[in-house]
């Protein structure tokens, strides 16, 4: 079953798995220009080698799961840029191929350096929300307007999910889910597409620690994920670190599935004032990882502005 596959994977990782960190930030650091509605998916077109390089950096830093550069890669978005449907599907396949190539290179390096016991690595195919395709910030508000109903969202996402699942993704990462209706759309696609042979995780984003960004309850959203057999993990991403501990507790109240968190960087905890403060860069929420693990998270990584240094620090902490 899907859940035993994922449980086995977590066990092989030592009971806790490390998710990679921010992709876009690293691509920009390497010189990519992401000022485009396609965001990091733009690199699938003009600099795929950079994507492969970032995946490899995260693997070398200790990540067990690397997430493909397909968050913003929608067939509709590519076609709006003038690509044919065939070219658009090919770019989606490329996102998985690059992650798989990075994994192969990582394994070769490990065997060359006589590292016999290497950790297992999964490639997660990223699916961003409808709001991510709109590229107007609505992925952070969860407000899509009247015409966008369940059947529209299912039709929008279905083919992309099929392509990622059929071309080497070990699981589908439905990320930064901003509202209940999109979670429902994903759950129905997974139930209807009986040919899909891969599990999925659902991660939501919150700006207040109680609701997803649309105002829907985090617990209600997590219940939708819990009710879907294909979903092997439920959690939070793209969220300020200050809310993670409470969100883990909320999710834990409604599911027994593994809980994953990969928050944004840019905050640091001041133990004297006992509050989170904005900071510019750096390995900032890592001291809190131990508390998240104790609260019940079994997969931990980073989202926006986190780097291989963040992931290395998380990996060192979880491995020791």
- Binding-site residue numbers for Zn(2+) are 238, 303-304
DSSP 240-306: -GGGHHHHHHHHHTT--S-EEEE--SSEEEETTTTEEEE-SSSS-SGGGHHHHHHHTEEEE---TT-
β-pairing, 267-270 vs 171-177, is unpaired
Which residues fall within 8 angstroms of residue 206, CB to CB, at 6 or more apart? 212, 213, 218, 236, 239, 243, 247
* Structure tokens that stand for 246 in this block: 């409470």
* Structure tokens that stand for 124 in this block: 């997660």
Q: Is 146 helix (H, G, I), strand (E, B) or coil?
A: coil
* Structure tokens that stand for 183 in this block: 């979670």
Which residues fall within 8 angstroms of residue 308, CB to CB, at 6 or more apart? 21, 26, 57, 58, 60, 61
**Cβ-based neighbour number of residue 94 at 10 Å:** 21
* Annotated binding-site residue numbers: 238, 303-304
């Amino acid at each position: 079953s899907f859940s035993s596959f994922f449980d086995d994977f977590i066990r092989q990782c030592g009971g806790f798995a490390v998710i990679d960190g921010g992709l876009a930030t690293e691509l920009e650091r390497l010189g990519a220009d992401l000022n485009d509605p396609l965001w990091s998916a733009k690199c699938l077109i003009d600099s795929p080698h950079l994507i492969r390089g970032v995946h490899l950096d995260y693997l070398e830093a200790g990540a067990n799961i690397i997430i493909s550069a397909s968050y913003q890669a929608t067939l509709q978005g590519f076609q709006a840029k003038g690509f044919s449907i065939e070219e658009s599907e090919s770019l989606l396949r490329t996102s998985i191929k690059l992650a798989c190539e990075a994994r192969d290179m990582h394994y070769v390096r490990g065997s060359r350096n006589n590292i016999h016991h290497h950790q297992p690595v999964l490639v997660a195919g990223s699916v961003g929300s409808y709001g991510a395709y709109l590229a107007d910030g609505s992925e952070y508000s969860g407000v899509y307007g009247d015409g966008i109903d369940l059947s529209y969202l299912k039709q929008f996402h279905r083919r992309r999910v099929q392509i990622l699942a059929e071309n080497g993704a070990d699981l589908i990462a439905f990320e930064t889910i901003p509202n209940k209706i999109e979670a429902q759309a994903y759950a129905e696609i997974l139930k209807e597409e009986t040919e899909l042979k891969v599990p999925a995780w659902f991660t939501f984003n919150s700006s207040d620690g109680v609701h997803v960004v649309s105002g829907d309850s985090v617990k209600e959203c997590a219940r939708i994920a819990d009710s879907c057999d294909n979903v092997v993990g439920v959690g939070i991403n793209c969220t300020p670190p200050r809310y993670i501990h409470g969100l883990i507790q909320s999710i834990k109240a409604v599911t027994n599935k593994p809980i994953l968190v990969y928050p944004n960087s840019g905050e640091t905890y001041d133990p004297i004032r006992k509050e989170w403060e904005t900071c510019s860069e750096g390995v900032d929420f890592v001291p809190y990882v131990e508390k998240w693990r104790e609260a019940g998270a079994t997969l931990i990584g980073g989202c926006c502005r986190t780097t291989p240094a963040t992931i290395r620090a998380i990996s060192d902490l979880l491995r020791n």
